[in-house]
Chains A and B, each alone.
Chain A
């Protein structure tokens, strides 16, 4: 094989655009070099087994991918030193500090609170004239309020740090200085909040992390601040836009919605299928090889960027029968949307509970929920990490 063959141009599709047929781009190769829209060269990895291997095998490093000078603009710039940008054993030390708060058991205990927030938000939307914006009224405040309550962030500050999160997660063509300014402001905010919590501890995650730092020296002050920012931002745009994009998909499949209305017991399976089918982002968190690695018939040299394409794993016909068909009754739970290995999404179980309760509420309480504008008028923010919808105007009830 040749590693000096010229890379393939890879231009990810935005939502609503036809998905480029990856086999056509790659010439049928499961692992191939590509030039990304920002001019970087990376090895793109496709197919379920190959993607999973990249995620699980420690020869693919996250820390090297977000080292200074390597990171892509946007949220990758602040991943260095966080649970999203370290390798074991540093990663293990940091992740263990928060893992217990996000286990399936702990998150299940939060379900009644999540349901209650869902109902309050739907009540408030129902009081407003239609059409109403579901992003501002539901999909964003739901995960924001949940993660704020877990962390111990005053709910009144949600709007402020949503603006920061938006700048950091959003447009990768945005001026880097603007992103760094937002980051500095977010760090400053948490620095001040940590001092308040240090003086008056509460029963929340921030206070728990402060105790881990002050009583047991298990993380540095910088790591403490970065952890708070990571948890806050990680719980925001992801779940919010998974709700938005799932709804757009469901609007096009009324028969599937009818099944959920008839049998709400299908909702957990439907959430897995929505996680499998929806393309939440176009470019995954990169890895860098620590040594030469044989994969998919090629040798990826040490020190090169590798991108595991989750979407190709989730549409791999050897794992999912007729993968292009959206079917809320299928068993889709082995999708790789939350990743795998040490960086398996910390908030995966929380996201599942939020999504299940969100759709139980929306499908059950707002029959006839539909887009209030032509789909072509919807506007996505620029940026490739998350397909973030600016507004989602909806109506419900009788047409």
Chain B
């Protein structure tokens, strides 16, 4: 199974920390409380998928590292 690339658009992050709470260790908040991935590429992780699906500002992007296609969040 191919790996996922994780990114967070800090311009639309609203600092809900939903991702930090849902997927411990996968996201970190910076000084302005904006989120970013702890690692830019990860093995598939259902909690990270949940975090992306639950983000209130849809700031988290998950793409298949091989194909560049978005990962289906609705699973």
Q: Residues of A with Cβ closer than 8 Å to B?
A: 52, 55-58, 88, 92, 95-96, 99, 102-105, 333-334, 338, 340-342, 344, 346, 348-349
Please pick, from B17, B32, B54, the residue contacting A92 in the complex, using a CB distance under 8 A: B54
Q: List 14 A-B contacts (CB under 8 A).
A: A56-B17, A58-B24, A88-B22, A92-B54, A96-B54, A99-B54, A99-B55, A103-B57, A104-B12, A104-B14, A104-B57, A338-B16, A341-B18, A342-B21
Cβ–Cβ < 8 Å partners of B6 in chain A: none
Is B58 in contact with chain A by the CB < 8 A criterion? yes
Cβ–Cβ < 8 Å partners of A344 in chain B: 16-18, 56
Is B15 in contact with chain A by the CB < 8 A criterion? yes
Please pick, from B12, B14, B21, B32, the residue contacting A348 in the complex, using a CB distance under 8 A: B14
Q: CA separation between A95 and B19, bound complex, in Å? A: 13
User: B45-68: which have CB < 8 Å to A?
Assistant: 50, 53-58
User: B7-36: which have CB < 8 Å to A?
Assistant: 12, 14-18, 20-22, 24, 32-33
A340 close to B16 (CB less than 8 A): yes
Q: CA separation between A58 and B54, bound complex, in Å? A: 16
A56 close to B20 (CB less than 8 A): yes
Please pick, from A96, A334, A346, the residue contacting B15 in the complex, using a CB distance under 8 A: A334
Interface of B is mostly: loop
Q: CA separation between A102 and B20, bound complex, in Å? A: 19
Q: CA separation between A342 and B15, bound complex, in Å? A: 12
Q: CA separation between A338 and B17, bound complex, in Å? A: 11
Cβ–Cβ < 8 Å partners of A105 in chain B: 57-58
Q: CA separation between A218 and B33, bound complex, in Å? A: 33
List 9 extra interface pairs beyond A55-B17, A342-B54, CB under 8 A: A57-B21, A96-B50, A333-B15, A334-B15, A341-B21, A348-B14, A348-B16, A349-B14, A349-B56
Cβ–Cβ < 8 Å partners of A92 in chain B: 22, 50, 54
Q: CA separation between A52 and B29, bound complex, in Å? A: 12
Q: Residues of B with Cβ closer than 8 Å to A?
A: 12, 14-18, 20-22, 24, 32-33, 50, 53-58
- Min CB–CB distance A58 → chain B (angstroms): 7
- Min CB–CB distance B49 → chain A (angstroms): 10
- Min CB–CB distance B22 → chain A (angstroms): 6
Q: CA separation between A348 and B13, bound complex, in Å? A: 13
Please pick, from A52, A333, A341, A349, the residue contacting B57 in the complex, using a CB distance under 8 A: A349
Cβ–Cβ < 8 Å partners of B32 in chain A: 334
- Min CB–CB distance B62 → chain A (angstroms): 14
Q: CA separation between A334 and B18, bound complex, in Å? A: 14
B54 close to A348 (CB less than 8 A): no
Cβ–Cβ < 8 Å partners of A99 in chain B: 53-56
A348 close to B56 (CB less than 8 A): yes
- Min CB–CB distance B55 → chain A (angstroms): 8
- Min CB–CB distance A30 → chain B (angstroms): 19
Q: CA separation between A55 and B55, bound complex, in Å? A: 16
A96 close to B14 (CB less than 8 A): no
Cβ–Cβ < 8 Å partners of A57 in chain B: 21
- Min CB–CB distance A50 → chain B (angstroms): 14
Cβ–Cβ < 8 Å partners of B14 in chain A: 104, 333, 348-349
Q: CA separation between A95 and B51, bound complex, in Å? A: 11
Cβ–Cβ < 8 Å partners of A338 in chain B: 16
Cβ–Cβ < 8 Å partners of B55 in chain A: 99, 103
B21 close to A340 (CB less than 8 A): yes
Q: Quick one: closest A residue to B57, CB to CB?
A: A104
Query: A58-B24, A88-B22, A92-B50 are known contacts. Are A341 and B17 too (CB-CB below 8 A)?
Result: yes
Query: A56-B21, A58-B24, A342-B21 are known contacts. Are A95 and B15 too (CB-CB below 8 A)?
Result: no
Query: A56-B21, A342-B21 are known contacts. Are A104 and B56 too (CB-CB below 8 A)?
Result: yes
